[in-house]
Amino acid sequence: MSGASIELKTDSPVVRFSISKQPDENGSPENGKKTTKRVKMSRKAKLNELRFYRLKAKKKMNSPNPEVRIRYKLDKAKRKEAWLIEKLRKFEVPTMPAETYDPEILTEEEKHYLKRTGEKKKNFILVGRRGVFGGVVLNMHLHWKKHETVKVICKPCKPGQIHEYAEELTRLSKGIVIDIKPNNTIIFYRGKNYVQPKVMSPPDTLSKQKALEKYRYEQSLEHTSQFIEKLEKELQEYLEHVARYKKEKENKENMPHFTIVDE
């Protein structure tokens, strides 16, 4: 108990002791937590710092050494890629546990009939750049209110993506895939014992606006990844060129020099 003082009070018939801690030099108790104040930067200091980083980046961009320029672009692209991946994580929706339901077994004749019926009907749903979101499933249920089948057209669609859409829509809508056309069209059948659900838009899907934001981030990530691959290839080619040039220079220096003497 260093730094503590004991005071004896004899004013009343009962003797009382009181122990009090003496404050330190800064005016705070010894066992108290030291609070460090964060230095707030002025507006001028922030501008100077930004100016410094801009000049530094400009110096690298205008460097006469191609390797410095390529590495600067590569680092910048990798930082952007990491930022985009972090942004896309916010759009990950936890998948709800799948409800138990008995998928109906259709005969080949029924499938053929439903396929022909679905091809003839003009009702369709378009899955665009946003991909599968709550509005697509909602429209499927609205179509199934009057029609047995519905066509889902996917534009634009990458190779193999149509099958992913088919699996996702089957899980969300509990429909049956009748046929997948080469022109990226899926024919869905609602089922014999179809009952329209109370909540037609599943809760584990994105909204229209968020689906568009996710698409934009995905497009940016795809282009950034392609740009990184291009820069890595350029850097590798440049380093190979430098190594080849150094090797040729060393070979020239090590070559024996012959002098012709006239007799």
Residue 214 CB: number of other CB atoms within 10 A? 19
Judged by DSSP in three states, 50 sits in helix
Residue type at 192? K
Cis peptide before 156 (omega within 30 of 0): yes
The pLDDT value recorded for residue 214 is 92
Split the chain (263 residues) into runs of 10 and give each run's mean pLDDT: 56 55 52 63 84 84 87 93 93 73 78 89 88 90 91 87 90 89 90 86 87 93 95 93 87 70 54
Residue 224, C-beta contacts closer than 8 angstroms, at least 6 positions apart: 77, 80, 81, 84
Per-residue pLDDT at 259: 59
If you ran DSSP here, which 8-state letter would residue 104 be given?
Answer: P
**How many Å apart are CA 211 and CA 202, to the nearest integer?**
14
Q: What is the pLDDT of residue 201?
A: 86
The predicted pLDDT at position 245 comes to 87
Q: How much is the pLDDT for 231?
A: 94
Q: Tell me what pLDDT residue 57 has.
A: 83
d(CA 151, CA 61): 52
Task: Give the per-residue pLDDT at 230.
Answer: 95
CB atoms closer than 10 angstroms to residue 110: 14
| Residue 21, beta-bridge partner list | 4
Whole-number pLDDT of residue 49: 85
Q: What is the pLDDT of residue 62?
A: 85
Of 228, 243, 245, nearest to 75 by C-alpha is: 228
